Amino acid sequence: MAWNEPGGGKDNDPWGGKNQGPPDLDEALKKLQEKLNSIFGGGKKSGGSNGGDVKIGASTLVVIGVLAVVVWGLFGFYQVDQQERAVVLRLGVYSETVMPGLRWNPPLMDEVNKINVTKVRGVASRGQMLTEDENIVDVALSVQYTVADPANFLLKVKSPELSLEHALESALRHVVGSSKMDQVITEGREQIAVDTQQRLQDYLDTYQSGILVAKVNIEDAQAPSQVQDAFDDVTRAKEDRERLKNEAEAYANGIIPEARGAAQRQLEEAQAYKEQVVARADGEAQRFANLYTEYRKAPAVTRERLYIDALETLYTDATKVMVDVDGGNNMMYLPIDKLMEKSATVRKGSQEEVDIRALTDKVVEQLRRDTQTTRREGR
């Protein structure tokens, strides 16, 4: 039987009351207060048994306050990574920039904004621009940048990325507008990228954006698609011109050194021949001077030796000699080639050199004998 059913007794009432209504809330609060006082040791209750105000003890308030302060302090700890910097705003005003490490700031008073300063960010831009020579080019480029000043990046500019895009387009249009179309499309891309990066950095520094531009890359630069075929023909013609020019320079670089080398060789050969002739003439002159000295010492012997040397020189290229004997009617025939064959020694199919001096001595001796014989017969 349920406690609230008719006929249910007082023992079935869970509230222990005489009536069947809900329990008294004031009584429940008093009991709770008594338990807290017994735990923390403090305040006393006041009021009548039928109701009254409940007073919380001072020690309870102190504990609650301490717990609140501890929880509040714990919420103030935070970690700043190595690649980050933390910008602290105290009551909405910039306070400081915090370096990496475990940090603490009072919660609810300070606002901490962590910004990655090592991450390389990127933005791209593409558009048609007018060059100095009034041509239109389609340029696409990309920019890589990092955050150099976190405070300026967060506070000075409302939208740093958007400001970067606008500054990039302005800088690129200024640089392209100061360049000719050939420079933009062909060999001048690198210089345009450098000039654009410098001008873009100047703009960002003026804005105090806190952005550092790392690299500007010209990814594509070409004429509009409507006239691209014509520009391709012009580009190919320029490439052919450069190729032919390089080939001509290579040919000239090959011919000119060769001609200079040949000229230098002829000059050196002429100089060598000159030195040879001069040295030979000096040697002959010195030889003649030495010979004259010896001639003065023994004229007859020297004269005969000169005669023999002359005959040796004369007979070197002669194979047959006809000798007319003075005072006689006979002419002597000397087969020098036969005499050389007899005096030569053959070894294994190779012929040694013949001593021309010995052969000359034999010829002179034979002439002397024949001359003496002829004179005797004449007598």
Within-domain flag for 366: yes
Question: 332 and 275 in one domain?
Answer: no
Distances (CA, A) of 177 to 128, 173, 253: 11, 6, 40
> How many Å apart are CA 295 and CA 34, to the nearest integer?
160
User: Which residue range(s) make up the domain with 40?
Assistant: 10-72
Q: Distance from first CA to last CA of the chain, Å, rounded? A: 201
Question: 100 and 39 in one domain?
Answer: no
Within-domain flag for 43: yes
Within-domain flag for 232: no
Question: 136 and 217 in one domain?
Answer: yes
Question: 146 and 102 in one domain?
Answer: no
Give the burial class of 35: count Cβ atoms within 10 A of its Cβ; 0-12 exposed, 13-18 middle, 19 or more buried. Answer: exposed
Within-domain flag for 285: yes
φ/ψ of residue 3, rounded to 5: -70, -30
Within-domain flag for 136: yes
What 3-state class would DSSP assign to 109?
coil
Count of domains in the chain?
A: 5
Question: 217 and 136 in one domain?
Answer: yes
For 298-348, the pLDDT digits (tens) are: 888 888 888 888 877 776 776 666 666 666 566 666 666 666 666 554 444
Give the burial class of 145: count Cβ atoms within 10 A of its Cβ; 0-12 exposed, 13-18 middle, 19 or more buried. Answer: buried
Q: How many CA atoms lie within 13 A of 247 on its CB side?
A: 6
Question: 106 and 137 in one domain?
Answer: no
Within-domain flag for 148: yes
Within-domain flag for 239: no
Predicted pLDDT of residue 353: 46
For 92-102, the pLDDT digits (tens) are: 888 888 898 88
Q: What CATH number has the domain bearing residue 165?
A: 3.30.479.30
CA 95 to chain centroid, in Å, comes to 44
| Amino acid at residue number 170 | S
Question: 264 and 191 in one domain?
Answer: no
Question: Considering 252, 276, 297, which residue would you say is the last residue of a domain?
Answer: 297
For 3-31, the pLDDT digits (tens) are: 444 444 444 444 444 444 455 656 766 67
For 118-154, the pLDDT digits (tens) are: 899 999 888 888 888 888 888 999 999 999 999 999 8
φ/ψ of residue 25, rounded to 5: -70, -35
Predicted pLDDT of residue 369: 72
Within-domain flag for 236: no
Q: Whole-prediction pTM value?
A: 0.47
Question: Tokens standing for 78?
Answer: 């935070």
